[in-house]
């Protein structure tokens, strides 16, 4: 396992960008991509996506189901693991009420994951993609991608690349329209590990600043928050945000009910670090959360050779990732006239 980590670090360093076109801590507008079945390709809709979504009628869409999952970039067999994740997401989303539109946040994607997503028929038929290549990732090796339900008019897309990061992390924002309200959704992977100075607090503070923009009615941020230190327990309150899990009665110290990392980590890491609630959903403004749950427990690769290789790396079972996903149903609270 240590050899795998070292190879991953080396791969990340080799692809790290030293010259970038964006300004740190400022919005970097990027295009989104809609699939054309007639042309059989993904077409960029430009940094401002409002015109491409003008024809969408989502008057029957009452809520957004936000699903976030970190798919470990260090393990081998990226295609098999991502395909298993996508098929599970498809199963979950197919069971949802038609009045809810789905938005998927993925973290720790590698370039081949973007290719797999772009070539997937279910993704092509149902979603707009924020990324089909790695050009907007500070790390050339891994990053985030968001899939937006085609029933949600998409107004804009931008990234905030953090200046305070050793791991090239960022926040990926999309503005969508729901019930004639503008909702801002942020997909993020906060700084890993317990380094000093701590970088997750300034990163979340910056994200909260853009979530509270007067131009939007409500906002949510979700992803792998790497919440492993005491200060992580209060980041939502310190930034005027609500934690979906806690708002619906979850207990911060309930490992069985709330933790999302460790159960499927390598045996050595689980014994060393235990489990933790790394993955979260925060929200603010006119949004309200009506449901929160975890998903993805027990997902495994199926090929016998791949299963053996992953177990040989020190895992109890050939899981596709060391994280459970989190899912929240978000609604816009309508003000009385």
3-state secondary structure of 84: helix
Mean pLDDT (the chain) is: 94
Task: Let me know: does 226 contact 107? Beta carbons within 8 Å.
Answer: no
CA angle 71, 72, 73 (to 5 degrees): 110
| 294 in Cβ contact with 254 (< 8 Å) | no
- Tokens found for residue 205: 């503070």
- pLDDT tens per residue across span 132-165: 999 999 998 999 999 999 999 999 999 999 999 9
Note the pLDDT of residue 45.
85
pLDDT score of 112: 98
Q: Is the pLDDT of residue 48 over 70?
A: no
Q: In the predicted model, what is the mean pLDDT of residues 321-327?
A: 98
Q: How far apart are CA 54 and CA 36, in angstroms?
A: 16
pLDDT value of position 5: 67
Cα-trace Rg, the chain: 19
CB 260 within 8 A of CB 326: yes
Q: Is the pLDDT of residue 320 over 70?
A: yes
pLDDT digits (tens, 9 = 90+) for 238-270: 999 999 999 999 999 999 999 999 999 999 999
Q: How confident is the model at residue 55 (pLDDT cuts 50, 70, 90)?
A: low
Q: Which of 51-60, 63-72, 109-118, 196-205 has the lowest mean pLDDT?
A: 51-60
Q: What is the pLDDT of residue 1?
A: 57
54 pLDDT tier (thresholds 50, 70, 90) = very low
| Domains of the chain, earliest start first | 21-332 (3.60.10.10)
> What tens digit of pLDDT does each residue of 69-117 get?
999 999 999 999 999 999 999 999 999 999 999 999 999 999 999 999 9
pLDDT tens, residue by residue, 206-238 = 999 999 999 999 999 999 999 999 999 999 999
Measured between alpha carbons, how far is 266 from 82 in angstroms, rounded to an integer? Answer: 19
End-to-end, the C-alpha distance of the chain in Å comes to 59
Percent of the chain with pLDDT over 70: 94
- Say what the pLDDT of residue 59 is: 80
223 closest CA partner among 82, 87, 328, 126: 328
Q: What is the pLDDT of residue 49?
A: 57
Task: Look at residue 51 and tell me whether its pLDDT is greater than 50.
Answer: no
Dump pLDDT digits (tens) for 302-319.
Answer: 999 999 999 999 999 999
Q: Strand 218-224 to strand 181-189: parallel, antiparallel, or no bridges (unpaired)?
A: parallel
159-186 per-position pLDDT tens digit: 999 999 999 999 999 999 999 999 999 9
> Given this model, what pLDDT does residue 337 score?
45
């Amino acid at each position: 396992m240590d050899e795998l980590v070292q190879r991953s670090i080396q791969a990340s360093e080799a692809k790290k960008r030293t010259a970038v076109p964006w300004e740190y801590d400022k919005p970097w507008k990027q295009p989104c991509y809609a699939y054309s079945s007639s042309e059989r390709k993904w077409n960029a809709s430009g940094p401002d996506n409002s015109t491409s979504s003008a024809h969408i009628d989502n008057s029957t869409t009452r809520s957004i189901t936000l699903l976030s999952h970190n798919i470990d970039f260090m393990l081998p067999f990226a295609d098999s693991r991502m395909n298993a994740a996508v098929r599970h997401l498809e199963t979950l989303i197919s069971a949802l009420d038609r009045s809810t539109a789905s938005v998927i946040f993925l973290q720790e994607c590698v370039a081949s994951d973007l290719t797999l997503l772009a070539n997937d028929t279910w993704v092509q038929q149902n979603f707009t993609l924020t990324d089909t290549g790695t050009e907007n990732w500070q790390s050339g090796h891994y990053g985030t991608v968001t899939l937006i339900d085609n029933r949600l008019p998409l107004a804009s897309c931008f990234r905030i690349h953090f200046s305070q990061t050793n791991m090239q992390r960022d926040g990926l924002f999309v503005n969508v329209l729901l019930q004639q309200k503008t909702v801002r959704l942020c997909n993020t992977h906060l700084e890993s590990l317990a380094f000093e100075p701590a970088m997750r607090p300034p990163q979340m503070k910056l994200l909260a600043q853009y979530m509270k923009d007067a131009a939007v009615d409500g906002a949510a941020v979700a992803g792998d928050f790497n919440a492993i230190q005491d200060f992580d327990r209060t980041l939502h309150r310190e930034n005027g945000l609500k934690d979906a899990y806690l708002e619906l009665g979850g207990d911060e110290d309930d490992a069985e009910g709330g933790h999302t990392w460790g159960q499927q980590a390598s045996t050595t890491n689980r014994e060393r670090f235990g489990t933790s609630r790394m993955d979260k959903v925060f929200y603010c403004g006119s949004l309200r959360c009506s449901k929160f749950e975890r998903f993805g427990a027990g997902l495994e690769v199926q090929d016998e050779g791949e299963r053996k290789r992953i177990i040989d790396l020190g895992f109890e079972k050939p899981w596709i990732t060391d994280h459970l996903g989190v899912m929240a149903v978000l609604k816009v609270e309508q003000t009385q006239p």
